[in-house]
Amino acid sequence: MQPVYFDNNSTTRLEPETLEAIQPFLTQHFGNPSSSHCFGSVAAQALAFARREVGALVGATPDQVFFCASATEAINWAVRGCRTRIVTSEVEHAATLNACAHGRDSQQQLITLAVDHHGLISLEMLEEELRKGESTVALLWANNETGVICPIPEIAAACQRHGAYLHVDAVQAAGKIAIDLSQLPIDSLVISSHKLFGPKGAGALIVRDPARVEPLLWGGGQERGRRSGTENVPAIVGFGSACARAALFLDERARHVGALRDHLESEVLRRVSGTWVNGDGTHRLPNTSNIGFDGVEAEALVGMLDARGVAVSTGSACHSSTHEPSHVIRAMTRSHRKANESVRFSLSHQNTQDEVEYVLEAVCSVIAELR
């Protein structure tokens, strides 16, 4: 059996159709989209098409989409030089936490809201902060470690009431749940190609008002003068293709992966004693299950599962080099121990029932060994 990949919140496998869409742009359609000859116009048309596809996934028009190299870059772009106080939360991705800490105007206050044991901020606390002055709110739509979904429509309404700017990290939400920017007062939103079965090297900052976007890179004036540098056409074409497929198969994928995740989660809880789900009882992405194993070092469990051909993680891939227990689980449980005992299983529509059965057997036998 091939190794089983249950780490789809870290990155995803390219779909064959997307690979097929990319290939001509690595070979015969290699032109620079800024060139005025036919090689350039083929690339420029592909870029325009991808911009429509990416926008359509989240209910945005093409002129609202600005391409860049990753969601991390888009997040830094969105909060860079922010001239208001920033309100964020303890469970954000490192890209937001660090961009808010280092990228903002340092004269401005940074407020980091606590979360409850479900991983959610309190709307009352948010509103209390918004009453104190002009604010930029930077929050996740869906958490990458637990899959917990924030009530973004309610948060957006609160921001609108208080005149706050709302920036949303929709990296994990896009392609897994429906997003319609045309119906919500969200000012900016970021998504990432490689999290939704597209290639690495493409991300997007998607904004309500394109006129408000400030330049990130100065140079030849690409991305309407906001991000100079020749566009990564093959990656952006793949990003567009992946978004089109995500929109087309959104419900089907969610149903398939939701059934697999629910089976995995309920069987782990049934077969293994001393287990719990981080973020249980809340609205969660259909693909993610973050499970705690009492008395088991999560790093050891991940390593032994890897030896049996099962790829899972203890949290964000960005933290795996630091070996610090997840800041997200610590914030939710207020327990260093529980954070050390929690493992993230993140599935995709590409997984199968046989793989779930294999992983269940592997988890049971590894836990028996470790305990």
- For the annotated catalytic residues, the residue numbers are 318
Min dist CB 71 to ligand PLP, Å, is 3
Query: Between 168 and 339, whose beta carbon lies closer to ligand PLP?
Result: 168
Helix axis angle for 250-271 and 233-248, nearest 10°, is 80
Binding of ligand PLP at residue 88 (CB under 6 A)? no
Distance CA(349)–CA(330), nearest Å, equals 29
Instruction: Indicate the SS3 state at residue 103.
Output: helix
Using rule CB under 6 A, residue 226 touches ligand PLP: no
- Residue 368 neighbours by CB distance under 10 Å: 9
Nearer to ligand PLP, 57 or 71 (CB): 71
CB-CB contact of 130 with 159 (8 Å): yes
Q: Considering only residues 93, 226, 256, 261, which one is a binding residue for ligand PLP as defined by CB under 6 A?
A: 93
Contact between 172 and ligand PLP by CB under 6 A: the answer reads yes
Minimum distance, C-beta of residue 38 to ligand PLP, in the bound complex (Å): 33
- Read off the amino acid at residue 226: R
Are the C-beta atoms of residues 149 and 282 closer than 8 Å to each other?
yes
What are the tokens at 157? 């309404």
Q: Which stretch binds ligand PLP (CB under 6 A): 14-22, 51-59, 169-177, 335-343?
A: 169-177
What is the rounded distance in angstroms from the CA atom of residue 147 to the CA atom of residue 285? 5
Taking the C-alpha atoms of 67, 73, 75 and 80 in order, what is their torsion angle to the nearest 10 degrees? -110
Q: Which of residues 113-142 bind ligand PLP (CB under 6 A)?
A: 140
CB of 119 to ligand PLP, least distance (A): 13
Stretch that binds ligand PLP, among 150-158, 165-173, 261-269, 320-328 (CB under 6 A): 165-173
Span interacting with ligand PLP, options 41-49, 66-74, 233-241, 264-272, rule CB under 6 A: 66-74
CB 295 within 8 A of CB 314: no
Indicate whether 71 belongs to the interface with ligand PLP (CB under 6 A): yes
Distance of CA 36 to the CA centre of its chain: 36
- Asked if 171 interacts with ligand PLP (CB under 6 A), we say yes
Question: Tokens at residue 132, please?
Answer: 């104190």
Query: Pick from 7, 129, 169, 265: which binds ligand PLP (CB under 6 A)?
Result: 169
What is the nearest approach in angstroms of ligand PLP to the Cβ of residue 95?
5
**Quick check: 70 binds ligand PLP (CB under 6 A)?**
yes
Are residues 234 and 21 in contact, defined by beta-carbon separation less than 8 angstroms?
Answer: no
Instruction: Give the alpha-carbon dihedral of 236, 240, 242, 246, to 10 degrees.
Output: 150
Residue 360 neighbours by CB distance under 10 Å: 17
Which of 93/176 has CB closer to ligand PLP?
Answer: 93
State in angstroms the smallest separation of the CB of 220 from ligand PLP.
24
64 binds ligand PLP (CB under 6 A): no
Helix, strand, coil % over all residues of the chain, rounded to 5: 45, 15, 40
Among 72, 282, 288, 333, binds ligand PLP (CB under 6 A): 72
Residues, the chain: 371
Query: Smallest distance, Å, CB 120 to ligand PLP?
Result: 15
Q: Which of 144, 146, 290, 333 binds ligand PLP (CB under 6 A)?
A: 144
188 binds ligand PLP (CB under 6 A): no
CA distances from 199 to 22, 50, 235 (A): 9, 13, 6
Q: Give me the least distance between CB of 171 and ligand PLP, in Å please.
A: 4
Binding-site ranges for ligand PLP (CB under 6 A): 70-72, 93, 95, 140, 144, 169, 171-172, 192, 203, 316
